[in-house]
Amino acid sequence: MGRTLLVDKERVRRNFDRHAGQYDQYAIVQRWMAERLLGYVAEWAKGRQVRRVLEIGCGTGMVTAGLVQLFPQAHITALDLSDRMIEETRKRLGGEASDVSFIVADAEMWSWACAQMMQDHNAHHSQEFTYDVIVSSAVFQWFNDPQCTCQSLLQLVRSNGLCAFATFAGDTFHELHQSFAAAELKLGLPMRPHGQSYPYEADWREIFEHQGSFQWQQQQYMLTYPDVLAFMHSVKRVGASNAVMQADQAGSSRALLQAMSAHYEQHFAANSGEGIQVTYDVGYGIYCREG
């Protein structure tokens, strides 16, 4: 699995910090992702004892709150890049946050460090480092090295444990990418990436299938926005805009944006005839570590 451009983690952190208080208002698809992911986790958990849970990217606590209800006897560790997001999770949980530990960290750096500590201490079965359940929603797409990061996380899954994640997949925002490409062609500009590209099902299978039992489910969610500007405004409010390291501003002139918007509104009008359609392509990965 490769990336042509890296995600600027510091920029991601600043975006999420800036918009943490507005996140839930705009995170419609993220809420649907959280609910469906929790359904998979609940189905797996039937008849099992779960003592330690790790959440990668707790955000405003959509999944965290569900995990607290699912596993009232478990200790939950919730990690996020943004301390402002963690503040929102604390608010959501209220008094139920007493058995939740919070860590402000980059999940990639943190997981690599944990995996290294396990190796250094020969602690492959250490209770200190491992978890019965690892859960993550709308985060794995931010990884700059998904293969190494996921392999590190899988070292933290106990025997017969679960790693379940929801992530944006390859066709997310395909209308936007196609419209930028069409506008660049029309204006005689070199084609360049605009925004983030997302891994496909085959990429995730390559990482997980040889590690244990792995299932993949995929669903596309379609949202309607009044116009392209409203769509881009909404994306900003969930902290996800322009997170890729690139000189995108230079390539996003007013003429380019106008041409892109015109193409988008002409070719990707909503079925209702009002506004535009936006595709959110979501994948759900369920990995069970064999004991």
Q: What is the pLDDT of residues 30-41, one digit of tens each?
A: 999 999 999 999
99: in domain: yes
Q: Is residue 246 part of a domain?
A: no
pLDDT along the chain (291 residues), means of 10: 68 84 90 98 96 97 97 96 95 88 96 87 68 97 94 94 96 94 95 86 91 92 95 82 45 84 96 90 95 71
In this prediction, residue 252 carries a pLDDT of 60
What is the per-residue pLDDT across 125-178, written as a single tens digit (0 to 9) for each? 567 789 999 999 999 998 999 999 999 999 999 999 999 999 999 999 999 999
User: Rounded to an integer, what distance in angstroms lies between the CA atom of residue 237 and that of residue 214?
Assistant: 33
pLDDT recorded at residue 241: 55
In the prediction, which pLDDT does 60 show? 95
What's the predicted TM-score (pTM) here? 0.91
Looking at residue 244, its pLDDT comes to: 41
Residue 192: is it exposed, middle or buried by C-beta count within 10 angstroms (0-12/13-18/19+)?
middle
Residue span of the structural domain in which 87 resides = 12-172+197-222+278-288
Q: What pLDDT score does 246 carry?
A: 44
Q: Per the domain annotation, does 271 fall within a domain?
A: no
Per-residue pLDDT, 251: 46
Domains in the chain: how many in total? 1
Residue 216 lies in a domain: yes
pLDDT at position 14 is 86
Domain CATH for 89: 3.40.50.150
Looking at the domain assignment, is residue 232 inside a domain? no
Task: Classify residue 75: in a domain, yes or no.
Answer: yes
Residue 266 lies in a domain: no
Say if 253 falls within a structural domain: no
